[in-house]
Amino acid sequence: MTELDHRVQGVDHTAFPTFDPAGTVRFYRDVLGFPVVHSICAAGWGPEDHPDFIHFFFDIGNDDRIAFFYYFGLEPVHRHERGDAYAGFGPDVPEFFVRSRHLAIHVGDEDDLLEYRRRLDASSWPVEMQIKHETIESIYTHDPNGYMVEFTRAMRPVTPQEDLDANLTIDALLDVVGEGDPTFGKLLARKAELIVERAAEWELSRAGEPGR
């Protein structure tokens, strides 16, 4: 496999529509303390009947940003009770799927995690879950638009062997998906083969690196 150099520098911004700009500003700026760092006031243009809109940005740390679009005169695009401002889901869609998409914001330590917990718990959007997954600890809530937001801290650094393991998992996954009719059992069997083929050599190559 060709090694491609890795030149990107994180998230510039991720963008979501909102029908509740007042709630959105209260949540991100006034409750969480995320500065407003940019906004665009745009008159609608183009071949579509595009509404006038405001595109506004909050700093989420590290100069990364979360942004919203507010479209003047646009009514909510769906009537489902489950989901968020962007997409709604009927009763046929399982809850785990509805809850799968989220934004996780990194914090440095437990103090910072608990500080955001305090800010949220004092607001109209209290923390819904706080979970220690052993290697990470996270709090979760939904913003005024229904988007799930997580704050997470690492409880220990990621080890180099976890990067190896992740790569073996993905290679095994591509193999079993490529074969058709993928199952978890097939993945674990293929991954066992990749461990036998590659894990010992990986450790030897690391031992040979300078400074180790």
Partner 1 sequence: MTALYVLDVPENTPLAAVAAQDPAVTVGRIGPYFAITATGPIVIDRRATGCRHAVWYSSVAGVARGSRITQHDKDALRVEPV
Footprint of partner 1 (CB under 8 A): 131-135, 156, 159-162, 164-165, 168, 185, 188-189, 191-196, 198-203
- Measured from the CB atom, the residue of 31 and 176 that comes closer to partner 1 is 176
Residue 88 bridge partners (DSSP): 83
The smaller minimum CB distance to partner 1, of residues 185 and 210, is found at 185
Which is closer to partner 1, CB of 105 or CB of 194?
194
**CA-to-CA distance for 192 and 86, rounded, in angstroms?**
41
Which structure tokens are listed for 49?
A: 């009947």
- Closest contact distance (angstroms) between CB of 93 and partner 1 is 23
CA distance 139 to 116: 9
Q: Are 81 and 103 in contact (CB under 8 A)?
A: no
Cβ 95 to partner 1 shortest distance, Å? 18
Of 42 and 170, the one with the shorter C-beta distance to partner 1 is: 170
Min. distance of Cβ 191 from partner 1 in angstroms? 4
Closer by beta carbon to partner 1, 43 or else 129: 129
Could you tell me which residues come within 8 angstroms of residue 161 by beta carbon, excluding any fewer than 6 positions away?
none
Nearest distance from C-beta of residue 189 to partner 1, angstroms = 5
Any idea of the CA torsion for 77, 83, 85, 87, to the nearest 10 degrees?
-50
For partner 1, give the closer residue by CB, 11 or 192.
192
- 53-59 sheet: strands from edge to edge: 13-18, 65-71, 53-59, 36-42
Question: And the tokens for 177?
Answer: 């998906």
- To partner 1, the closest distance from the beta carbon of 100 in angstroms equals 16
CA–CA dist 142, 55 (Å, integer): 21
- Min. distance of Cβ 131 from partner 1 in angstroms? 8
Measured distance CA(77)–CA(15) in Å, rounded = 17
